Amino acid sequence: MKIKILIPIFNDWNSVKLLIKNIDIAIKDINADFSVIIVNDASTQEKPDNILSFKSLKSIKIINMISNRGHGRCNAAGLKYIYEKEDFDYVIPMDGDGEDRPDEIIQFVEKIIKNPNISVVGKRVKRSENNIFKFCYEVHKIITYIFTGKLIRFGHFTCIPKSVVKKMINEKATWNCYSASLVKITKIRDSIPSIRGKRYFDLSKMSFYNLITHSLSIISVFKINVIIRSLGFIILYSLIIQNNFSIITSFPIVLIIIFNILILKLSQRENMQEYDKCLENISDIEVIKND
Residues whose CB is less than 8 angstroms from the CB of residue 96 and which lie 6 or more positions away in sequence, other chains included: 7, 8, 9, 12, 15, 16, 19, 38
CA distance 44 to 49: 15
In this predicted structure, which of 36-45, 99-108, 164-173, 238-247 has the lowest mean pLDDT?
Answer: 238-247
User: For the purposes of burial, counting CB atoms within 10 Å of the CB of 34, is it exposed (0-12), middle (13-18) or buried (19 or more)?
Assistant: buried
Percent of the chain with pLDDT over 90: 75
DSSP 3-state assignment of 267?
helix
pLDDT at 242: 86
CA distance 69 to 58: 28
Question: Is the confidence at residue 258, as pLDDT, over 70?
Answer: yes
- Per-residue model confidence as pLDDT tens digits over 179-234: 999 999 999 999 999 998 888 887 666 566 777 888 899 999 999 999 999 999 99
CA distance 291 to 262: 48
Q: At what angle do helices 71-85 and 178-185 cross, to 10 degrees?
A: 50
In this predicted structure, which of 44-58, 165-179, 212-226, 256-270 has the lowest mean pLDDT?
Answer: 44-58
Question: Is the confidence at residue 61, as pLDDT, over 90?
Answer: yes
Per-domain boundaries in the chain: 2-131+151-203+272-290, 223-265
pLDDT at 139: 85
* HSE-up of residue 278 (Cα within 13 Å, Cβ side): 30
Question: Is the confidence at residue 134, as pLDDT, over 90?
Answer: no
Assigned CATH class of 2-131+151-203+272-290: alpha beta
Sign of CA dihedral 180, 85, 26, 95: negative
pLDDT at 127: 57
DSSP state letter for 277: T
CA distance 91 to 152: 20
CA distance 201 to 2: 30
In this predicted structure, which of 107-111, 135-139, 236-240 has the lowest mean pLDDT?
Answer: 135-139
Percent of the chain with pLDDT over 70: 94
pLDDT at 166: 98
Question: Is the confidence at residue 22, as pLDDT, over 60?
Answer: yes
Question: DSSP letters along 134-181, please?
Answer: HHHHHHHHHHHHHHHS------S-EEEEHHHHHHHHT-GGGGT-HHHH
The gap between the terminal CA atoms of the chain, to the nearest Å, is: 16
pLDDT at 128: 58
